[in-house]
């Protein structure tokens, strides 16, 4: 495998020239080969045109044929494992075992969508038969099903070079819906992006699909991304990253002559509430469990716990001491980029400089290397100082303890939108948990009991998304098969002759889908 | 029934004072009693607070209890028929028969949602059971279901004083989802709004629900609406009206610290494509059918046909002549308001003043009274002049004829997003229709064959919404039971003990819902 450092415009390579950049080895602190070339404006234009031209063929492809393509994509990704192991750990600082498991996750996402398409009922087919005898006016025959929105721009995330980047969940779900994808590579892992893009291109061409089904654009700056979000052929945007970045894309998309949805997943502080009986029963185990979650991937997960709210009383001191001890013993590890490490250092320094925080874990972060940080604050400060509930991306958490049971709900109600909230409970805490659950369910996408928020299962029931600012639109998940619904819209066919209907809506139900027929869900 | 001219802030009446306005009889050209008082800022605040406080109770209400409330609302609306007949025709210029049928439609919307809630499966419950033995990490138990977004602001439409106004489809669907509603009355029918608001208040109180489940605000200007859209307690907005109005709300909502979705339904020109065989076979019948659709409700429907694209050749002259004759013979009728009639006159005058249009139906509109307008244009002008594809709200259409079959697809691909597109076909047109359908399905929410776009059936399969600018977000319908999905979002529960789960997610499936369990849709 030879990395060329050039965009993929459909089946062709982009041209060199324009701004360039390189990957960077955060562990060694040095630039990596090759040099990557920003896509030219005419290449952005061409990628968009190809995507648009691919739409009538790709969007109309029978679901089961799209499933074959997704399977092929999964295979092509897995076949590139050696290439990923050669470049991804180097350009991300992540260990090879993590890359292997993340590759499996990326391929699994494509396969889960393939299975969803094979079954086919995700299109939510609805049929209301005509009632010609109805008075005063006859009722027409009405049938609706979901169809692809159109070309989607996907912005790769820095922190999941495989599972949320070029061939990640946004791309898999958009392709599954029948939307061509133009991926904008994250500059933190260009070689990984190039290899993933080649795998997808291979799958597109092997399945005889129009080349515009997938393109990959590199950019040293922000121009390519902006041009994509503004382009009239783009109908939706997927993004994982910072709140500032997501919000900028949301505003760009909202200001278009024809506004489009942006699905931005922007992170969260993932509060953990340790209820009194649980704290008394297993303070050390809770500290171990939470420290492990905080340290996972150097805390570079949008689900990393950043706020721990504990009861006072029994177990309280033990928990805090053990948590501080475990975090204090953790070695400095390279973060994904020096920029991310610098923002982590700045965030930690800001918290350390406040009069209302007590730092529990000391340690200096240097270059791309970061050491965990832990702070304690009083409840009143937490409830009144917005800076204490802002995310510091990395292994950094704040511990606050509540004085009475009702304070848990006060904290919960005070929080901004979150991806997750966790309750640590024993049977004796259930009454309190029952009070807290509806408050939390109003503020978050996923509520966990006795688990850790890191580790986002890819499945039908997953909700990875929450009220703003966790996501741009908390009505959608970015992970799991539900993510396909971001990129589809219903179209209704009224009195259309059977032969002209898409097969999912034909009277004989040739695809054997579950359909809502005259209000009743049925199959066959 | 005594109309008081005051807002409803939960169970209480608003205070007089501040800006006032009155209803207006467009047929007689005179102001109506009583005087309506704008809601004060502190009343907006109070309505929002009450709505927020109602959320934990109303949102957590078992689906079947919400169904009882919706049934009660339907009954209360129907019980007010005499009151509506006393005021609505007068303040809208619409005939009593239309008001009766629209009241039936409004009540029917509440009842359809009640039935949806009784069945209950709309919450899209998904369960993925734990796999504790899975390696390397065990899989947790994950369950998700839809929950209400939170308080919704609904802006009543001018053109459906009952079915899309205070107690219209947006209100019914938001309440069905479990979201309290604050309705902003359209000033064109304040007495109708007041009566509808009282009916909803009666249902809220009769069911023992928190008063904040529903409020109704009057406003002489735009301050109340703006304050609502900006209020942190409001989580979504429903709107039916002009593109300018909808876009303004979209931008206001996108600029909030916490952006919220706006579901704006902004109208459309609803192109009708008359294919060659159909035109040759039944030119007069087509002219009659389309004239009737154009004249319905003085053309004051977002689905009124505004563009007719016909083949040339046989039937062409007959069709055009008959259409012009039927429209020319129609009497002047009052539009909803003098403002709407004035904008109609301006739109018609703008088209008449263009060098590239030929006016086929003359006639002068005066005061609130409007006469239909019909224009003919050349295909090239239609494809190059954006002004020719802008909506003129009212009975106004443009006829263009194509020179060759391929031109139909050119027109279809050229159009902005539309609520509907109609194909008039005979068997000989099916091949051409098959080519056109996918192009149209990409641009519209509903494709009809041999029908008229006016008359939007309330049912599960209806899609009333289309790509921007037809709607703010073409992924959602404003009519039919699918409209509930605008106001709900999924929440996931991970490893939550069964007793703490909402009943729709409990293992025993006590509500007997259809649920996706380990990837398989099943019941019981």
pLDDT band (50, 70, 90) for residue B363: confident
Region A299-319: mean pLDDT is 95
pLDDT at B365 (0 to 100): 80
List the single range of A322-326, B42-46, B60-64, B112-116 with lowest mean pLDDT: B60-64
Instruction: Look at the domain B272-449 and name its fold.
Output: Aldehyde Dehydrogenase; Chain A, domain 2 (3.40.309)
Mean pLDDT computed over every residue of chain A: 96
DSSP single-letter state for residue B476? S
pLDDT mean over B391-420:
95
> For residues B89 and B336, what is the distance between their CA atoms, to the nearest angstrom?
10
Q: How far is it between the farthest Cα atoms of chain B?
A: 79
3-state secondary structure at position A284: helix
Smallest Cα–Cα separation from B374: which of B414, B319, B430, B428?
A: B319
B265/B254 Cα distance (integer angstroms):
17
Other Cβ atoms less than 10 A from the Cβ of B397: the count is 28
Residues sharing a CB contact under 8 Å with residue A255, sequence separation 6 or more, in sequence order: none
A139 contact residues in B (CB cutoff 8 A) = 457, 459
Distance of CA A415 to the CA centre of its chain: 21
Q: Is the pLDDT at A364 greater than 90, yes or no? A: no
Q: Quick one: pLDDT at residue A18?
A: 83
Mean pLDDT over B452-466 rounds to 97
Reported as a pLDDT band with limits 50, 70 and 90, residue B92 is: very high
Q: Which residues contact A228 (CB under 8 A, 6 or more apart)?
A: A44, A48, A153, A182, A184, A217, A234, A237
* A460–B516 CB contact, under 8 Å: yes
Interface test with B, best of A478, A488, A490, A492 (most B CBs within 10 A): A492
Predicted local confidence at residue A365, as pLDDT: 80
Q: Which residues of A touch B477 (CB under 8 A)?
A: 490, 492
pLDDT above 80: residue A150: yes
**Distance of alpha carbon A173 from alpha carbon A165, whole angstroms:** 12
* Measured distance CA(A208)–CA(A202) in Å, rounded: 10
φ/ψ of B155, rounded to 5, equals -100, 115
Please report how many Cα atoms fall inside a 13 Å half-sphere around the Cα of residue A71, on the Cβ side.
12
What are the beta bridge partners of residue A30? A25
- Residue-wise pLDDT tens digits, B254-286: 999 999 999 999 989 999 999 999 999 999 999
The CA-CA-CA angle for residues A255, A145, A172, to 5°, reads 65
Per-residue pLDDT averaged across B136-163, rounded? Answer: 96
Q: Nearest Cα to B218, choosing from B44, B391, B3?
A: B44
Residues A376-407: tens digit of each pLDDT = 999 999 999 999 999 999 999 999 999 999 99
- The whole-angstrom separation of Cα A234 and Cα A237 is 8
Q: Output DSSP code: residue A450.
A: S
What mean pLDDT comes out for the span B451-468? 97
Q: What is the mean pLDDT of residues A255-268?
A: 96
How many helices (H) and strands (E) chain A has is answered by 15, 23
What are the CA-CA distances from residue A222 to residues A155, A225, A249, B232, B441 (Å)?
11, 5, 11, 32, 34
Through-space distance between the first and last CA atoms of chain A, rounded to whole angstroms? 49
For chain B, the average pLDDT equals: 96
**Domain range annotation of chain A:** 34-266+476-486, 271-449
Q: Which pLDDT belongs to residue B313? A: 87
Exposed / middle / buried, residue A35 (Cβ in 10 Å: 0-12, 13-18, 19+): middle
Condensed to tens digits (0 to 9), the pLDDT of residues A38-91 reads 999 999 999 999 999 999 999 999 999 999 999 999 999 999 999 999 999 999
Which of A102-106, A184-188, A265-269, B48-52 is least confident? A265-269
pLDDT digits (tens, 9 = 90+) for B281-303: 999 999 999 999 999 999 999 99
- What is the model's pLDDT at position A497? 97
Question: Strand A12-13 and strand A8-9: pairing?
Answer: antiparallel
How far from the centroid of its chain's Cα atoms is residue A461's Cα? 15
Question: Residue B47 — pLDDT band, cuts 50, 70, 90?
Answer: very high
Longest Cα–Cα distance of chain A, Å, equals 79
Question: Helix (H, G, I), strand (E, B), or coil: what is residue B176?
Answer: helix
Q: Tokens 């008001």 appear where?
A: B99
Judge whether A34-266+476-486 and A271-449 match in fold: no
CA closest to A127 among chain B residues: B461
- Asked if the model's pLDDT at residue A433 lies above 80, the reply is yes
Q: What is the crossing angle of helices B243-254 and A243-254, to 10°?
A: 170
Q: DSSP for B211-263? A: GGGEEEE--SSSHHHHHHHH-TT--EEEEES-HHHHHHHHHHHHTSSS---EE
Mean pLDDT within B409-426:
96
Q: Confirm or reject contact between B449 and chain A (CB < 8 A).
A: yes
pLDDT for B463 equals: 98
Is residue A95 within 8 angstroms of chain B, CB to CB?
no
Taking a C-beta distance cutoff of 8 angstroms, is the pair B310, B405 a contact? no
| Cα dihedral B151→B157→B162→B164 (10° resolution) | -60
| ipTM metric | 0.97
pLDDT digits (tens, 9 = 90+) for A212-243: 999 999 999 999 999 999 999 999 999 999 99
DSSP for A265-280, please give it.
Answer: E-----EEEE-HHHHH
pLDDT at A17 over 90: no
Find residues 45-84 of chain B whose CB sits inside 8 Å of chain A.
Answer: 55-56, 59-60
Residue B312 CA, chain-centre distance (Å), reads 35
* Mean pLDDT, range A328-352, rounded to an integer: 96
> Looking at the complex, does the CB of residue A495 fall below 8 Å from at least one CB of chain B?
yes
Q: Which residues of B touch A451 (CB under 8 A)?
A: 140, 494-495
DSSP string, B61-110: S-HHHHHHHHHHHHHHHHHTHHHHHHHHHHHH---HHHHHHHHHHHHHHH
CATH top-level class of B10-266+476-486:
alpha beta
CA distance B67 to B117: 6
Label residue A130 by pLDDT band (50, 70, 90): very high
| A490–B contact, CB cutoff 8 A | yes
Which of B273, B277, B361, B284 is closest to B318 using CA atoms?
Answer: B284
CA-CA distance, B140 to B84, in Å (whole number)?
55
Q: Is the dihedral of CA B114, B174, B460, A485 positive or negative?
A: negative
Position A40 scores a pLDDT of 97
Give pLDDT, residue B283: 98
Of the candidates B43, B211, B265, B391, the residue annotated as catalytic is: B265
Q: Give the position of tokens 């009450």.
A: B50
The reply to whether CATH 3.40.605.10 applies to domain A34-266+476-486 is yes
**Cβ–Cβ under 8 Å, residues B266 and A259:** no
Contacts of A248 (CB under 8 A, 6+ apart): none
pLDDT at residue B71, rounded to an integer: 98
Residues B428-437 have pLDDT tens digits of 999 999 999 9
B52 to chain A, closest Cα gap in Å: 11
Q: Confirm whether A302 is a catalytic residue.
A: yes
**Matching CATH number, A271-449, of 3.40.50.2300, 3.40.309.10, 1.10.645.10, 1.10.8.350:** 3.40.309.10
A285 pLDDT higher than 80: yes
DSSP state of B131: B
pLDDT of B194 reads 98
- Kindly provide the residue ranges of all beta strands, DSSP E only, lying in A362-432, ordered along the sequence: 369-370, 373-377, 396-402, 418-424
Give yes or no for residue A524 having a pLDDT over 90.
no
The rounded distance, in Å, linking the Cα atoms of B353 and B330 is 23
| Non-local CB neighbours of B467 within 8 Å, separated by 6+ positions | A258, A489, B416, B417, B418, B443, B444, B445, B474
């Amino acid at each position: 495998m030879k990395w060329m450092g050039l965009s993929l415009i459909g089946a062709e390579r982009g041209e060199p020239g324009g701004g360039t950049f390189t990957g960077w080895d955060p562990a060694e602190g040095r630039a990596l080969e090759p040099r990557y070339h920003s896509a030219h404006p005419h290449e952005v234009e061409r990628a968009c045109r190809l995507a648009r031209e691919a739409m009538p063929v790709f969007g109309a492809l029978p679901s089961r044929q799209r499933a074959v393509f997704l399977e092929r994509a999964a295979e092509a990704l897995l076949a590139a494992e050696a290439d990923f192991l050669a470049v991804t750990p180097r350009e991300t600082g992540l260990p090879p075992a993590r890359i292997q498991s993340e590759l499996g996750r990326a391929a699994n996402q494509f396969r889960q969508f393939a299975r969803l398409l094979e079954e086919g009922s995700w299109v939510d087919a609805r049929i209301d038969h005509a009632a010609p005898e109805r008075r005063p006016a006859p009722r027409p025959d009405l049938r609706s099903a979901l169809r692809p929105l159109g070309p989607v721009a996907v912005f790769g995330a820095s922190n999941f070079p495989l599972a949320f980047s070029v061939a990640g969940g946004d791309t898999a779900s958009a392709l599954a819906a029948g939307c061509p994808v133009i991926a904008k590579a994250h500059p933190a892992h260009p070689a990984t992006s190039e290899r993933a893009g080649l795998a997808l291109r291979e799958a597109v061409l092997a399945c005889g699909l129009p080349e515009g089904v997938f393109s990959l654009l590199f950019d040293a700056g922000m121009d390519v991304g902006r041009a994509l979000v503004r382009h009239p052929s783009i109908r939706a945007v997927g993004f994982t990253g910072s709140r500032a970045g997501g919000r900028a894309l949301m505003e760009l998309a909202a200001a278009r002559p024809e506004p489009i949805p942006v699905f931005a997943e922007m992170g969260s502080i993932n509060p953990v509430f340790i209820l009194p009986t649980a704290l008394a029963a297993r303070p050390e185990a809770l500290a171990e469990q939470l420290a492990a979650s905080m340290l996972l991937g150097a805390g570079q997960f949008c689900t990393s716990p950043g706020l721990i709210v504990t009861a006072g009383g029994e177990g309280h001191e033990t928990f805090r001491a053990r948590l501080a001890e475990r975090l204090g013993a953790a070695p400095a590890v390279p973060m994904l980029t020096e920029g991310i490490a610098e923002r982590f250092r700045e965030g930690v320094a800001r918290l350390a400089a406040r009069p209302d925080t007590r730092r529990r874990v000391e340690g200096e972060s240097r270059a791309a290397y970061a050491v965990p940080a832990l702070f304690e604050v009083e409840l009143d400060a937490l409830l009144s100082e917005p800076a204490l509930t802002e995310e510091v991306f990395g292994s950094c958490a704040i511990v606050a303890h509540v004085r009475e049971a009702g304070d848990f709900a006060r904290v919960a109600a005070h929080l901004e939108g979150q991806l997750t909230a966790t309750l640590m409970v024993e049977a004796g805490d259930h009454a309190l948990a029952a009070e807290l659950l509806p408050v939390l369910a109003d503020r978050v996408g996923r509520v966990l009991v006795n688990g850790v928020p890191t580790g986002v299962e890819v499945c039908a029931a997953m909700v990875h998304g929450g009220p703003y600012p966790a996501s741009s639109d908390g009505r959608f998940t970015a992970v799991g098969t539900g993510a396909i619904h971001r990129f589809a819209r219903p179209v209704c066919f009224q009195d259309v002759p059977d032969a002209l209907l898409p097969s999912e809506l034909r009277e004989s139900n040739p695809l054997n889908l579950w359909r809502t027929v005259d209000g009743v869900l049925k199959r066959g």
